[in-house]
Amino acid sequence: MSAISVLLLILVFGNAATAQNSNSSSVDPCKDQVELYCKEESTAGDTRGITKCLMKNEERLSVQCKQELQRLVQASRQTMPLGGGPLGSLAGLTGAASQIPSLSYEGRLIPSSNETPSFFDNNLNISFPIYKTESETYSATLVGGHFHLSEPILLDSGTNVPTDFYRTDIGLGYSRKLSAQKTLGVRGTMGYLGDRFTSKTQSYSISANYSFPGAKENSSWVLMVMMSNNSPLGTFIPIPGFFYIYRTSTFTGLFGLPVASMQWTPVHPWSFSFSLFGPQIKAETSYGAIDKIQVYTGFGWKQQKYLVSERQNEDDRLTVEEKTAEIGLRKPLFQGVFSEIQAGYSFDRSIYQGEGLFNRDDGYADLDSSWYLKWSIKFVF
């Protein structure tokens, strides 16, 4: 579970013990459920305990609460960047990341097409708390990945793209709960993201954040700042950001920079979502219950960035860019274990090298469109 979803859980359930004294049950349908089934965990402020308790009692939860949980999970899923790194720090700016131990694996295969080689991508993500008190949490994340091309790709600059890229990322975080809905946190990461482990492919970042309630009920703010040696927005430059969270009985929205996400569940079991996170866009329509089975169709646009060890310009990044259209199925296998499989079509594909987000000055190549298969499994402990 990503840090954004943990923050949302804290904001939704952090003061659930006082829900009976408010008139917001129609807007916060899970608060009454937490009070009914998970009062001990709520009183103790145990986010992990509340989450496990809700999963244990999922058959007894109201449809409205299940929809709210679905919106939180989908916001997390759509704003989770690949491979950690600087943008992973942005996703972890709540400082509450890893309060809920989890392990996830994702793989994708794009077969070869005409003159374009096959792509095989694997990613592993582990997060867990190291030490917790009533008000403080020390946490860690471990990320690993491997991106493989069956053959080298030649850019128009004459540069040969290596066939294998690796990613590792170790993150340490500290979060302090100042009150029911106020948190302060810092997080640091280090790792590498390239074809070989050298000083030119190392990546590290540090970030800080502060979250507090908004002026309106069921709203919150998160202020943040991040600095990295490998950010697409600038190296060693403090980058500020923020987002505003607003919830109703059928809608959850995150609005800000570098993230925007809208999750809407107007009529059970339909849901609609759109998210923008850095250089990543995802839109989806799904049908089904989160605790049963969901079928969905979606559209996406994304970039994956790597560091080539032999690059001449230190600021160059190798970018793999594509748009996708997909259909898929999600299903929990058993308590705390979730699976997903999808088939899709990758189009408007390219690979290029240059400074910044869209610069192609140091080489470019078009890639053929192709079908792909993607699968994932996640364990929440």
Task: Compute mean pLDDT per 10 residues along the chain, 381 residues long, and list them.
Answer: 44 42 55 81 72 77 82 77 50 49 92 93 90 85 93 93 93 84 86 90 87 84 85 76 87 86 92 86 92 93 90 88 96 86 97 86 94 93 77
CA distances from 131 to 42, 51, 100, 174, 244 (A): 19, 18, 12, 10, 29
Helix axes of 63-78 and 29-37: crossing angle, nearest 10 degrees: 110
DSSP-derived 3-state class of residue 208: strand
Query: What is the crossing angle of helices 29-37 and 3-13, to 10°?
Result: 80
The enclosing domain of 31 has a CATH number of: 2.40.160
Question: CA 95, CA 227: separation in Å to the nearest integer?
Answer: 15
The pLDDT of residue 157: 92
Specify the pLDDT at position 234: 67
> Is the Cβ–Cβ distance between 329 and 294 less than 8 Å?
yes
- For residue 102, what pLDDT is reported? 83
Say whether 31 sits in a helix, a strand or coil.
helix
Provide the number of structural domains found in the chain: 1
The domain of 12 spans 3-380
